[in-house]
Amino acid sequence: MGGWEWIFLPIGILVVAGVIVALNIKVVPQSKAFVIERLGAYHVTWDTGLHFLIPIIDRIAKEVSLKEQVADFPPQPVITKDNVTMQIDTVVFFQITDPKLYAYGVESPIAAIENLTATTLRNIIGDLELDHTLTSRDTINAKIRSILDEATDPWGIKINRVELKNIKPPAEIQDAMEKQMKAERQRREAILRAEGEKSSNILVAEGKKESQILEAEAEKAAAILRAEAEKEARIRRAEGEAEAILKINQAQAESIRLINEASPESAYLTLKKLEAMEKVSDGKATKVIIPSDLQGVVGLVNTIAESTKTDNLN
């Protein structure tokens, strides 16, 4: 029996030692860091990888996440420069950059950030009026982030961004703001309607003006066409009259030529002269001068007329 005890004792010791070693082998995951204390004092910060913890002597004081974290703080009452009390809640985005400072810099880092955010917010809003507060979120966010980042740097914390989540004025202020916004929308609607009517009137006037211009141009074109047509008609009439006169003159010339070729007797020529004299007098002349060579012809005509009457009597 004593022999078996000496055999199992080393095996038991080895098993216990193996268990102790296995329990003290630590793996640090990605985006995390372990703060290690040795005999109660800070020793080292473990990064990602495999590490061995000496039993009894070493211990893990704090496991720190290196990821960006979000802290959503409840609404805080703040008073503006014009004595309006509002409820504002903030959201802080931060990241731990130094695990040792984070572990030993402040007792409760998140509570410290919350209180620091509330006091900073009250200080900034206290210098602003209500309207400016509602329209200056980016400015307020930037100021709070700058102040918090500087204050938390000894704690190993980096403030990446601060956002004002909600700004809630009192109910009566909200009603007044809604009425103001409604009046502003109505004013803008009236302005847009007036501008639309103005544009419409301008378009109508331009349309009328363009129509009048087109009508005037059409009338002008029609007048030009009428004048050109009348001019063309006059030219045609003048050409026709000229051609008619030319035809008459040509006929007269041809008639004279034929008479000259036929060698007419003097009595025929004298008769033609009488016809010409008749046309000249046209029964309207009060005095007609007859050439001497026509007097004999007149006498001959009278003789012929008398003999004609005598024959008629017989």
Burial classification of residue 186, based on how many CB atoms lie within 10 Å of its CB (0-12 exposed, 13-18 middle, 19 or more buried): exposed
- Distance from C-alpha of 236 to C-alpha of 248, rounded to nearest angstrom: 18
User: What is the pTM (predicted TM-score) of this model?
Assistant: 0.53
Instruction: Provide the CATH number for the domain formed by 68-169 in this structure.
Output: 3.30.479.30
Residues of the chain with CATH 3.30.479.30: 68-169
- Tell me which of 191 and 175 has the higher pLDDT: 191
Give the pair of three-digit tokens for residue 36. Answer: 């290690």
Q: What is the pLDDT of residue 1?
A: 46
Longest dimension (CA), the chain: 216
Q: What is the pLDDT of residue 262?
A: 61
For residues 245-263, give the mean pLDDT.
70
- What are the tens digits of pLDDT across the range 183-220? 778 888 888 888 888 888 888 888 788 878 888 888 88
Q: How far apart are CA 233 and CA 219, in angstroms?
A: 21
Q: What is the pLDDT of residues 40-62, one digit of tens each?
A: 889 999 888 888 888 888 888 88
Q: Which residue has the higher pLDDT, 181 or 85?
A: 85
